[in-house]
Amino acid sequence: MSGPPDATAAPRISTGGPFFEDLRVGDVLDAAPALTLTDGQAALHQAIVGDRLRLPLDARLSAQVVGAQAALAHPALVCDVAIGQSTLVTQRVIANLFYRGLVLRRAPVIGDTLHTTTEVVALRQNRGRPGRAATGLAALRIRTTDQEGRRVLDFWRCAMLPLRDPSGTTDQADDLDAIPALLDARAMREAVADWDLAAFRRAAPGAHADDLLEGTCWTVEGGDVVSAAPELARLSLNIATAHHDEHGSSGRRLVYGGHTIGLAAAQATRALPNLVTIVAWHGCDHLGPVFEGDTLLSELELERTEPLGAEGGTLVHLRSRVRARRADETVDVLDWRFVGVMA
């Protein structure tokens, strides 16, 4: 009869996520759990970032406009889940440099299940600087589908990751400018082509697309405090250490960038209460770190409008500039250019 296994022979395995030099172009990671969107998740997301889009809040109106029996899932929640599922690759992330080509190709509703695969498409080591640990940039293609295999998101993001050897070097020098930057205009239109925007106009009082003037800027009075930051990261399956462990982010835990975007989206609907949905991001620049307890304030600009055509409605190209107010300073933290739909 054999005795108990020899504990000294058992392996000790780190689960901290890959370093930059562990990645290879062509790697595909798809092991993140699929996630079914529920009313509970939507309610917690709304409590944390203050979602104010009418359709995710009003199931009856959502059924009239979208045509589904379940309420529309807030587009910020959908994006948060896709990004969170992609953090299998970026658990050690230091910063996110850009998002490109982000278009919600269909609008998930509560009850849909999201699954995301993440492909490494380009790698470039950063130029070394005295006194700084070595880092590299990983360009990732994020593809999210629903339970029927329909495309929900297909976009690129670029993450900065550390090297295992702080003074190490690699031969990775891909051209990140080759990552497409233009939005798929056809996909934006198709995403809402079947929606009854006239029903939205009838149901929602106040200004709609015809009342807007290009170049208008709104200053949103009153800020929003950043709270429940790790809870939002957990909700969206985001395992990036910097958003959970203060010891993993130079002694201060960073707020997930999607949290800042979610609050900016909520403030945008205070300026445009009849924003129907958000369908795309032109770009998203995180200008500075955000910490829990900061108060975020924003200004919104209508850069241009674009009629949807026969289906009615208008694409509105918006720019949100966000500042963080904390005890000793007020600093710029976000420049987010996105595309919404107005009826």
pLDDT in tens, 291-306: 999 999 999 999 999 9
Q: What are the residue ranges spanned by the domains of the chain?
A: 18-166+174-342
The pLDDT of residue 147: 97
Assigned architecture for domain 18-166+174-342 = Roll (3.10)
The pLDDT of residue 2: 62
Cβ neighbourhood burial of 299 (10 Å; 0-12, 13-18, 19+): middle
26-50 average pLDDT score: 96
The pLDDT of residue 249: 52
Asked if residue 182 has pLDDT above 70, the reply is yes
Q: How, if at all, do strands 35-36 and 295-307 pair?
A: unpaired
pLDDT digits (tens, 9 = 90+) for 131-149: 889 999 999 999 999 999 9
Token pair of 38, please?
């529920």
Asked if residue 101 has pLDDT above 70, the reply is yes
112-130 average pLDDT score: 94
Give the bridge partners for 228, in sequence order: none
306-323 average pLDDT score: 91
pLDDT digits (tens, 9 = 90+) for 154-175: 999 999 999 999 988 899 999 9
Q: How, if at all, do strands 113-125 and 102-103 pair?
A: unpaired
Asked whether the beta carbons of 100 and 181 are under 8 A apart, the reply is: yes
Cβ neighbourhood burial of 148 (10 Å; 0-12, 13-18, 19+): exposed
Q: Quote the pTM value.
A: 0.92
Asked whether the beta carbons of 332 and 321 are under 8 A apart, the reply is: yes
167-192 average pLDDT score: 90
Of 341, 342, 335, residue with least CA distance to 99: 335
- For the chain, percent of residues with pLDDT exceeding 70: 96
Asked whether the beta carbons of 114 and 78 are under 8 A apart, the reply is: yes
Asked if residue 248 has pLDDT above 70, the reply is no
Give the bridge partners for 275, in sequence order: 342
d(CA 20, CA 90): 9
Cβ neighbourhood burial of 9 (10 Å; 0-12, 13-18, 19+): exposed
How many other CB atoms are there within 10 angstroms of residue 333's CB atom?
A: 24
Q: Give the three-state DSSP class for 210.
A: helix
Token pair of 40, please?
């509970």
- For the chain, percent of residues with pLDDT exceeding 90: 80
